[in-house]
């Protein structure tokens, strides 16, 4: 059994209720996407957590790299004007 | 409900519920043996999940039987000896290798898919309700086991050989699925139970189609055994019960 090729890794996303987004909950191994979906059912929604399941093979996800952190994330740190809270509202605007 | 049933019929009905419960409990116990032993963690969880469906079903059916004639679910599960168990032989056989477990599961799932769909039409409302809940579970079990039969049959040389061996070994136990005794015949006449014989053609067609498509040859087994419904079991049931019942036998009435 262990001599066969390793099973690919899948990422699992669960939507807990209609109207909400699918949220990443974890990953699992399966022979293919169909089986991954079945395993996701048995591994992640056993307590009724889900109304919809997505699985995607992990290799299809392109992820940002830790080594890119300086160029990817740091430049945002000094741009507070991108937050709505940066602006003082005129008195005329009571509620926003 | 129980007021409407005369006492003789009530006992028959209770025994019928108990034997369906026995099928579920014993297979559930066998499946539990995979817990922490399955080939992968994912499959381990999946098998345990299926096992819990069977234990849940056993509880519903035992619960119904105790409503009819008293006693408790625990007494039914933990204080009866093997001769008092009326499960099918197929479900008590040792779990074997993974191919063996999945083939047994598939043969039974394919049967239960037909059986419980028909039982939803039972004139007994409780049995019909149990069947309606079970149908959904079986639908998933069947999807899983069908998938595995294909994978193993068309997989490696070894997986194919193991599945073929399992088929050769288990084929002699399938006729019992379709047997009815006088107890069930009485209930069939009242449309409480389902006539198992009616399901055989559809079952054979479905099973042989999948096995052929999975490169497995259906054996012409010269022998067929039965006896579970009469309390005549293989030597394996006693061992299963001794493990399952140990705690209640050692500490009678013990509760969590």
CA distance B163 to B171: 12
- What are the pLDDT digits (tens) for B176-191? 999 999 999 999 999 9
Q: Can you read off the two tokens belonging to residue B192?
A: 């409480």
Q: Given a cut of 50, is residue B1 above it in pLDDT?
A: no
Helix (H, G, I), strand (E, B) or coil at A55: strand
Q: Which chain A residue lies closest to B162 (C-alpha atoms)?
A: A1
Residue in A4, A30, A46 nearest the CB of B42: A30
Of the candidates B45, B57, B71, B64, the one whose C-alpha atom is nearest the C-alpha of residue B109 is B57
CA distance B211 to B138: 19
Domain range list for chain A = 1-59
Residue B255, domain member (yes or no): no
Average pLDDT, chain B: 95
CB contact under 8 A, A38 and B45: no
**pLDDT value of position A1:** 47
Residue B15, domain member (yes or no): yes
Which residues in B lie closer than 8 A to residue A29 (C-beta atoms)? Answer: 40-42
Helix (H, G, I), strand (E, B) or coil at B142: helix
Residue B78, domain member (yes or no): yes
CB contact under 8 A, A42 and B143: no
- What is the ipTM metric for this complex? 0.81
**pLDDT value of position B29:** 98
DSSP A22-51: PEEEEEEE-SSHHHHHHHHHHHH-TTS--S
CATH 3.40.50.1980 fits A1-59, yes or no: no
Percent over 70 (pLDDT), chain B: 97
Q: What average pLDDT does the segment A8-37 reach?
A: 94
- What are the pLDDT digits (tens) for A36-77? 999 999 999 988 887 899 999 999 999 988 888 888 888 888
What's the structural domain count of chain B? 1
- What are the pLDDT digits (tens) for B218-248? 998 788 999 999 999 999 999 999 999 999 9
**pLDDT value of position A96:** 63
**CATH number of residue B161's parent domain:** 1.20.1260.10
Instruction: Give whole-number Cα distances, A9 to A26, B84, B117, in Å.
Output: 10, 47, 36
Residue B256, domain member (yes or no): no
Q: pTM higher than 0.80, yes or no?
A: yes
CA distance B80 to B77: 7
Domain that holds residue B7: 2-218+226-250
**pLDDT value of position A38:** 94
**pLDDT value of position B114:** 98
Q: Can you read off the two tokens belonging to residue B209?
A: 């189609």
CA distance B120 to B122: 5
CB contact under 8 A, A46 and B49: yes
């Amino acid at each position: 059994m262990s001599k066969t090729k390793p099973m690919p890794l899948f990422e699992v996303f669960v939507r807990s209720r209609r109207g909400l987004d699918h949220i990443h909950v974890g990953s699992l191994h399966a022979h293919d996407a169909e089986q991954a979906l079945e395993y996701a059912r048995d591994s992640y929604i056993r307590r009724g957590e889900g109304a919809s399941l997505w699985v995607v093979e992990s290799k299809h996800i392109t992820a940002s790299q830790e080594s890119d952190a300086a160029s990817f994330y740091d430049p945002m740190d000094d741009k507070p004007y991108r937050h709505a809270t940066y602006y003082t509202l005129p008195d005329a605007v009571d509620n926003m | 409900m129980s007021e409407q049933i005369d006492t003789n019929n009530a006992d028959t009905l209770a025994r019928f519920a108990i034997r369906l419960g026995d099928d579920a409990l014993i297979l559930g116990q066998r499946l539990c043996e995979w817990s922490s032993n399955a080939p992968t963690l994912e499959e381990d969880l999946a098998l345990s999940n299926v096992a819990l469906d069977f234990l849940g079903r056993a509880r519903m059916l035992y619960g119904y039987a105790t409503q009819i004639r008293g006693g408790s679910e625990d007494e039914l599960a933990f204080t009866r000896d093997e001769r008092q168990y009326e499960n099918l032989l197929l479900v008590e056989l040792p779990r074997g290798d993974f191919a063996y477990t999945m083939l047994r599961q598939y043969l039974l799932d394919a049967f239960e898919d037909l059986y419980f769909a028909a039982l939803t039409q039972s004139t007994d409302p409780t049995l019909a309700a149990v069947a309606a809940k079970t149908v959904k579970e079986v639908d998933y079990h069947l999807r899983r086991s069908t998938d595995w039969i294909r994978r193993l049959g068309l997989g490696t040389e070894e997986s194919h050989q193991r599945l073929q061996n399992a088929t050769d070994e288990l084929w002699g136990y399938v006729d019992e699925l379709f047997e009815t005794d006088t107890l069930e015949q009485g209930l069939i006449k009242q449309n409480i139970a389902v006539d198992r014989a009616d399901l055989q053609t559809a079952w054979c067609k479905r099973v042989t189609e999948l096995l052929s498509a999975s490169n497995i040859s259906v054996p012409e087994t010269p022998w067929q055994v039965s006896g579970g419904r009469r309390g005549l079991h293989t030597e394996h049931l006693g061992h299963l019960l001794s493990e399952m019942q140990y705690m209640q036998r050692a500490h009678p009435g013990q509760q969590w």
